[in-house]
Structure 1
Amino acid sequence: MEHPCGLFTLSNQPVPLKSISVDVSINQFVADVSATLDYKNEETGPVEALFVFPMDEDSAVYSFQAVVDGKNIVAEIREKQQAQEDYENAISQGQAAFLLEQDSSSGDIFRCSIGNLPPGQKATVTMSYVQELSLEADEAVRFVLPAILNPRYLLQESAETNSITSYISRILGKELPYTFSVSANICSSNGIEKVHSSCALSPLKYLADDKTVAQVSLAEGHKFDRDVEILVYYGGRNTPSVSLELPQAGAKPGSLMGDTAMMVSFYPSISVAEGESTSGEFIFLVDRSGSMNSPLNFEKGSQFRISSAKETLILLLKSLPLGCYFNIYGFGSTFDYFFPESVEYTQQTMEEAVQRVKSLKADLGGTEILEALTDIYSKSCKPNHPRQLFVFTDGEVCDTGLVIAEVQRHSQNHRCFSFGIGEGASTSLIKGIARASGGTAEFIMDKDRMQLKALRSLKRALQPVVQDISFTWTLPLGVETTLLSPAPTMIFHGQRLIVYAQLKGTNAVTGEVCLQYTLCGNIVRSTVPFSLDPKADDKLTIHRLAAKSLIQTLERSSQDAAEEKKKVVDISLQSGVVSPHTAYIAINKELNEPIQGPLTQRDIPLAHRYHFHFFMSLYPLCSSLSVLYISPLLQLISLQKADGSWELDEALTSVLGVSVQAALSKDVPSWATILAVLWLHSSFWGQREEWELLEKKAVAWIQAHSDSSLGECIEAANALLKSSVDPAVFGL
């Protein structure tokens, strides 16, 4: 039997999608993205092409259009059910139709349907969206174009659900039958210092002498087989700012799009001098499903996810303060825990936990986090010890709404710090549970160190609690503001804080906004003046980001579901931003004649995330994933006691690279701990963020167990280790 002409998947089905090209415009910390998909039907009959793809949960999709035979067909946004019915009616009548919709169970999955593409016909569809970009610890602005969409594991409660990801055809990335390209234009008034990426890039090209505009693109030959991460480093430090945008032409005054929109950015600075809490209940919930046996990325030599999680847990355990409480849960198809209830952090409980962490395996089957969460929430919180939940998962869960709702129900009793591990982690799940509980979300991809991001979150969890957060506006008479995004419930040092507002009446010159909160009993204010001079933007970026924020807030509301859905639909139809209840529909009604013949469905394949057994063929020496490679840094950390001290023994001297006899030259209680701290500073300064919490414990212990000879001991220890660390490290 002869096959029709065209490109084929491994199942010998022709693929009508020929190319994907993406244009990204990054302006400060906002990205505007246009993705163009080119199709051609090379079969003898009409086809329907279905392309399911991931997208960051915070993306605001605001435009969809198609070009057929040179004719531009602009899609309209409608209620989803109506759009789906219009689409089905159009293709049943032989008309070409185009549908773009968000998955009802997860905000980070979209589906593009191309119906009734005639034989020999070409079609191009373009969708556009805007999104805020996250800020990394090193102040890089991070843009990610997701490519990996892992199958979402069905929760027991939703096993009847038809998961949109379950039927997608998947093949190895190098065999994808369509091409892929990305080009990014970057703009910043502070200048662009450098650009890094998880993928090979063309050289950075500056388009202005002052380096405020630049361009970069993916190197040729890149396949759509991994997430594209771009990190942009600007010249100036982040400062508070206010941006105003003119309303949409012709929109009704008083409506979201008919008034000026405002974006306010704060960068609160919570001084370390305010002190850190030594209390708290720290619960670590770790994904132990089979997918955690995968490497973090597709490069040979990449660390396995479960191994990285184990290293991170050991580091977190060593960094906890004395007097707190802790527990560790593992989840998969079932769940387990180290202790029936959270236990006090002591030398004995810490040692027991570290030994159990070393033996953890990714052996609990599927990814069902809900049952473990329910068990955690069923146990009473410890008085005067705020509950802090740390969740580590590769996030392959179907119907994330159930999980987020469970976290939301208990948001008054805890904060959740979430970590998406590896490519394809659900941004809806990771961001959703953090947002619902006032925590933060981190994503670990490529060469990111999980330990660094986990310790950053632990530092945030130990920060003093911020209370009574509010915004006040100083505006001329006749000018009013309405907050479009909820006031934050938590503020962390070094974290960007963005809120949106609607401004009515701009016949004035200046105004100011003040962020106010209470910290350690003191009232803190941060005021930003701004000019009431809104700028025009034909893409209405601020309005659409504000609409997305408002839609997400309403979706999380516990109020009347029907009323909230009505509000979401209204905002979505006003702004053009897709919601779970709306979709874009375009119909080509000008075909010369109805399409003849039966309609054949073609599912566009996505890249396959390699299975565990494939990677074992790349690592034939790796006989067991339970074996944990212990780096010198982790060896030293593993030897530290719960109170922050070290004992002088052969294990310590082996790590330090000195003989036991030489190390015994001083006979003072703090000698071993002084040596360990100096070695950290001289050998692993570049990873200081990973060990500064346990160093703080060590220095406090040294100060409590030393006398006037401390300076002399530090000098002798520097000489022994051939280092030159400043005694000021120890408070001298």
Structure 2
Amino acid sequence: MVNCGLVTEKNEPVPLKSISVEVRVQDHVATVSSTLQYVNEEERPLEALFVFPLPADAAVCHFSAKIGEQEIVAEVQERETARDQYDDAVSSGCQAFLLEESEESPDVFRLSVGCLSPGQNAAVTIIYVTELAVQADHSLRFCLPAVLNPRYTPAGSAAGIVSEISSGCGSVPYTLTLSVHVSSPKPISKLESSCTLDPLVFLHSDHTQATVNLSPGHMFDKDVELFVYYQDTHQPSAIVEAGVTTAPSGSLMRDPVVMISLYPEFPEEVMSSLVTQGEFVLVIDRSGSMDEMMHNGTGAQTRIESAKDTLLLLLKSLPMGCYFNIYEFGSRFEFFYPQSVEYNQDTMDQALKRVKEMTEDMGGTEILQPLKHIYSQPCYPDHPRQLFIFTDGEVFNTKEVLDLVKHHAHSHRCFSFGIGEGASTALITGMAREGSGHAQFITGTDRMQPKVMQSLRFALQPAVVNISVDWTLPDGITVDTLSPPINVLFQGQRSLIYAQLKGESSGGSEGTVTVKYSLKDQPVTNQLHFCLKPTEETGLPIHQLAARTLIRSLEQKERSGDADVESIRSRIVELSVQAGVSSVRTAFIAINKDSRQTVKGPLLQRRVPTHCLCSNCIGPPRRLKKGIPFVIICFACCFACCIPAEPEVTGPEQKIGLMTKVRNFFRCGSKTEASLTAQPDSESMNEAAPDPPKDPLLQLVSLQKASGCWELDATLADVFGKTEDELTNQKPAQVDGSVWATLLALIWLYGCKIEQQVEWQFVAMKAASWIGSQKVGDLSQCVCVGNVLLGCQVTEETLGI
């Protein structure tokens, strides 16, 4: 069997040898410098193509290449112009480098390395800036994507950069080194990572600066996540960054730019009661890739099994009186009900029965059509629509999906969940941003349930309306807000605002930004005072992120066709070139014009593997110019390159799933194509592996009624490790069996599962509300008896009844 991924004619790995990354975190912004070391070990000139992921909201702001002692710094140019220059340079035997952003998905880039002579080394450096997302525990998440899954392409769609992903089985043939420097006005509490880190080193006694390195030997075969914890992260802040004095007068790069981080604090009396209305539409990915494991550790579930457990928890947590529906999608889509139904015991039971039967057998990942169907359904008055979308995010038409979500943003909120390594950040964060919701990523050993429950709390918060942002600045200073209008606010969630400051102050040195909104008919005001003096020298990350924000808005306008497309394209190119940041209309181009010797001989083309699932055979390159010969060596995983992209499987083997067969093929080490079509014999089907032990928490949740109560029976007693007689014999007189069972469930949750409270908080709220509506008698006595029975020490006040 040949090596997986793309190899040379001698069956050797392609020539990317290492990736070295330096990260500078300044408060809420990270500047990332990645250096990729190439070497041409061929006997002929080489062209390498490397398709790789970046964070969706990153602004690429520098690109250079060093060959020997000579460094070539790239320029940002209009895309077609840059492509033509690259083609001409490569065709003429000159060394050239081209960096492009995908037209379909802004989190995918393609780097073309042209005309490396035999034995020649090249170090390519890419620098980008990105915002750090705030997590539920107030940490800031930095993610260095490594995994780029093959994106499912709907029938009839043209392929682009994202279809040129090369495959790799196992580890990639290059390593990663990573160093991180963190600085902030607020003290740094700690840094955590999904990978092994060296000890954190503080550079100052006040803990405002620290460094940490990734432990040696890391193979870059999964995303690297880093979580930065500051003291008082949730406090609002402002960074004012000075402009470039040589930039044109009045331009974005000439004037100071301010980045405001806002954390609205809602009144406690408003947040104490969550809304009980709404239409909840749960959208579940059932494509073949959902059969992948959540992680490689002990007790790992497949993605689909984890999603099913999460659906159970979600369905049990919904409030009585709301409406709900569930959509399943792959190459096609299905729905549980023709339209959303009222949430009650019957509809909940029907839905749970279908959830248990879910498998990952619906082919590819096509999310556009189910979304269109959902949006075609009329909304229920006084029941705001809330979408919960679960996917591993491997789609081709990302921008088309985001435009659809944005078009319907007035009628719903969208909460998105990226499952597993390689989920598209552009898709997951984009759907939440355009749908005025919240995005979550579940990677490594993360549990899906707590993250989904955090989003459900957001969804159940009262809607914020009439949001306005006002500026108070000294005379002579005006402000041009660059960020889109804020149309959603959640308790504890950050909102970023970029603004360009114009003019000269006649005296004052302080500005104020005021955010006003209405919450349950109550007016609320949040204010932040900030100094107009620019922060100490930080480079230009704030300007570059502001330019990126403006460019993204313009790109969306261009796709909508609501304005003069040509003028918008010109403005995108102007901003991109001026700020030196990437866009879909521009590209970075670097040409070694000082090379003394023209490269001779036939040019080999190599595609550098990224770690990903099996993908289709890569199509021909877009270039065949001036008679330069080339060779494409294109191996997907062995014969898997001949398999269509997760077609819909029909017939007797439908339940097996094509991608499951492919994975089983490699796990078993078979080399025959017969493994793809072989049917399991009846004996092996009857010898199914025993079910893993059930999670007691999920067992308890599965027994709860839609109203919030439990029944007193043997299955409930089993969760507690008791018999039904033990529960019944200890029941206080005059207390109903369901009341006693529900009270015991609450005591068990608070006494035995308090560390998972975020998962069962809504289940407990429903239970406490239900008990409160019943005649209990002496509640204190019941709690005392329940504590003794279950071995807990829960107070009556804790239960919230």
Q: What is the TM-score with the length of structure 2 in the denominator?
A: 0.87
Moved more, 399-408 or 60-69: 399-408
Q: State yes or no: 1:118 paired with 2:113.
A: no
| Residue in structure 1 matched with residue 216 of structure 2 by the alignment | 220
Equivalent residues of 2:483, 2:549 under 8 A apart: yes
Deviations 1:438-464 (A, max 9, x none): 111111101211111111111111111
Deviation at 1:209, TM superposition (A): 2.8
Contact 1:294–1:615 under 8 Å retained in 2: no
Which stretch of the first structure deviates more once superposed, 291-300 or 104-113? 291-300
2:363 is matched with 365
Q: Deviations over 1:5-60 (max 9, x none)?
A: xx956981552222111111112221110000111212222111111101110111
Rounded Cα–Cα distance in structure 2 between residues aligned with 1:626 and 1:284: 30
Cα pair distance change 1:44/1:32, threshold 3 Å: same
**Is residue 506–residue 532 contact of structure 1 (8 Å, CA) maintained in 2?**
no
Gap change, CA 1:693 and 1:169, over 3 Å in 2? same
Task: Report if aligned partners of 1:293, 1:625 keep a CA contact under 8 Å in 2.
Answer: no
Please report how far the alpha carbon of residue 584 of structure 1 lies from its aligned counterpart in structure 2 after TM superposition.
0.5
Residues 245-256 of structure 1 aligned to structure 2 (within 5 Å): 245-256=241-252
Change (3 A) 1:206 1:651: same
SS of residue in 2 equivalent to 1:295:
coil
Report 1:614-653 matches (<5 A). 630-653=694-717
Where does residue 11 of structure 2 map in the other structure?
Answer: 12
Q: How far 1:536 sits from its partner (Å)? A: 5.0
1:260-275 superposed matches below 5 A: 260-271=256-267, 273-274=269-270, 275=273
Per the alignment, residue 85 of structure 2 pairs with 86
**1:228 corresponds to which letter in structure 2?**
V
Deviation at 1:138, TM superposition (A): 1.2
Is the counterpart of residue 591 in structure 1 residue 587 in structure 2?
Answer: no
Task: After TM superposition, give the deviation of residue 218 of structure 1 in Å.
Answer: 1.6
Instruction: Measure the CA separation in 2 of the matches of 1:147 and 1:254.
Output: 39
* Pick aligned residue for 1:170 from 164, 167, 170: 167
Deviation of residue 593 (structure 1)? 2.4
1:405-445 deviation per Cα after TM superposition (whole angstroms, max 9, x unaligned): 22122111111111010000111111111111111111110
Task: Check whether the contact 1:54–1:147 (CA below 8 A) recurs between aligned residues.
Answer: yes
Alignment of 1:162-561 (within 5 A): 162-174=159-171, 176-271=172-267, 273-274=269-270, 275-299=273-297, 301-507=299-505, 508-535=508-535, 537=537, 539-557=539-557, 558=560, 559-560=562-563, 561=565
Question: How far apart, in 2, do the equivalents of 1:71 and 1:536 lie?
Answer: 32
| Residue-by-residue CA offset, 1:488-547 (whole Å, 9 max, x unaligned) | 111011111111000012423112111111111111111111111013536201101111
State the shift of 1:471 in Å. 0.7
How far apart, in 1, do the equivalents of 2:477 and 2:170 lie? 55
**After superposition, what is the alpha-carbon deviation per residue over 1:85-131, rounded to whole angstroms, capped at 9, x for unaligned?**
11101111111111111011110000111111112222111010010
The residue that corresponds to 1:722 in the other structure is 791
Distance 2:569 2:36 in 1: 31
Counterpart of 1:606, as a letter, is T
What SS does the corresponding residue of 1:672 show, helix, strand or coil? helix
- Note if 1:695 corresponds to 2:764: yes
Change beyond 3 A, Cα 1:8–1:364: closer
Bigger shift: residues 40-49 or 283-292: 40-49
C-alpha separation between the residues in 1 aligned to 2:109 and 2:87? 18
Instruction: Say whether the 8 Å CA contact 1:25–1:31 is kept in structure 2.
Output: yes
Contact kept? 2:54, 2:107, Cα under 8 Å: yes
Give the letter aligned to residue 199 of structure 2: P
Aligned residues: 724
The Cα of 1:551 is off from its aligned counterpart by 1.4
Letter in 2 for 1:455: M
CA RMSD in angstroms, aligned pairs only: 2.2
> Partner residue of 1:659?
723
Distance of 1:625 and 1:335 partners within structure 2: 30
Per the alignment, in what secondary structure is the counterpart of residue 606 of structure 1? coil
Give yes or no for contact 1:14–1:602 (8 Å, CA) kept in 2.
no
1:668 aligns with 2:672: no
Q: CA deviation at 1:166?
A: 3.3
Q: 1:227-274: CA deviations, max 9, x gaps?
A: 111112223342101110101131123111111100001111224531
Q: Once the 2 structures are TM-superposed, how far is the Cα of residue 77 of structure 1 from its aligned partner? A: 0.2
Q: Structure 1 pair 153/623, CA: closer, same or farther in 2 (3 Å)?
A: farther
Structure 1 length as normaliser, TM-score? 0.95
Separation in 2 of the partners of 1:57 and 1:467? 28
Cα shift at 1:157: 4.6
Is 1:582 the equivalent of 2:586?
yes
- The aligned residue for residue 609 of structure 2 is 605
Shift of 1:181: 1.2
Q: Give a deviation string over 1:583-642, Cα, whole Å, max 9, x none.
A: 100110111121111111111112244875687687999987996863100000011111
Q: Structure 2: how far apart are the matches of 1:47 and 1:208?
A: 48
Kept in 2, the 8 Å contact 1:360–1:626? The answer is no
Question: Which sits farther off after the overlay, 420-429 or 148-157?
Answer: 148-157
Residues 1:466 and 1:628: Cα distance change in structure 2 (over 3 Å): farther
Is the 2:102–2:160 Cα contact (8 Å) retained in structure 1? no
C-alpha contact (below 8 Å) 1:10/1:171 kept by paired residues: no
Which moved further from structure 2: 618-627 or 421-430?
618-627
Q: Which amino acid aligns with 1:331?
A: F
Is residue 358–residue 626 contact of structure 1 (8 Å, CA) maintained in 2?
no
Equivalent-residue separation in structure 1 for 2:497 and 2:692 (angstroms): 43
Query: Which amino acid is 1:595 matched to?
Result: V
Which amino acid counterpart does residue 735 of structure 2 have in structure 1? Answer: V
Work out the CA distance in 2 between the residues paired with 1:494 and 1:11: 56
Provide the rounded CA distance (Å) in 1 between the counterparts of 2:139 and 2:261: 16
**Residue 648 of structure 1, CA deviation:** 0.8
Partners of 1:471 and 1:46 lie apart in 2 by: 57
2 CA distance for matches of 1:586 and 1:659? 74
Relative to structure 1, the CA distance from residue 575 to residue 385 in structure 2 (aligned partners, 3 Å threshold; closer, same or farther) is same
Counterpart of 2:410 in 1: which secondary structure? coil
- How far apart are the structure 1 equivalents of 2:422 and 2:367? 17
Instruction: Report the counterpart of residue 147 of structure 1 in structure 2.
Output: 146
SS of structure 2 residue aligned to 1:668: coil
Counterpart contact for 1:400–1:428, Cα < 8 Å: yes
Percent identical across equivalent pairs?
47
Matches of 1:628 and 1:394, distance apart in 2? 24
Contact 1:154 1:163 in 2 (8 A): no
Other structure's SS at 1:468 match = strand
Q: What does residue 137 of structure 2 align with? A: 138
Q: Does the aligned pair in 2 maintain the 1:48–1:114 contact within 8 Å?
A: yes
Cα distance 1:445–1:244, how it changes in 2: closer, same or farther (>3 A)? Answer: same
State which drifts further: 205-214 or 520-529: 205-214
Q: CA deviation at 1:301?
A: 3.8
Q: Secondary structure at the match of 1:634?
A: helix
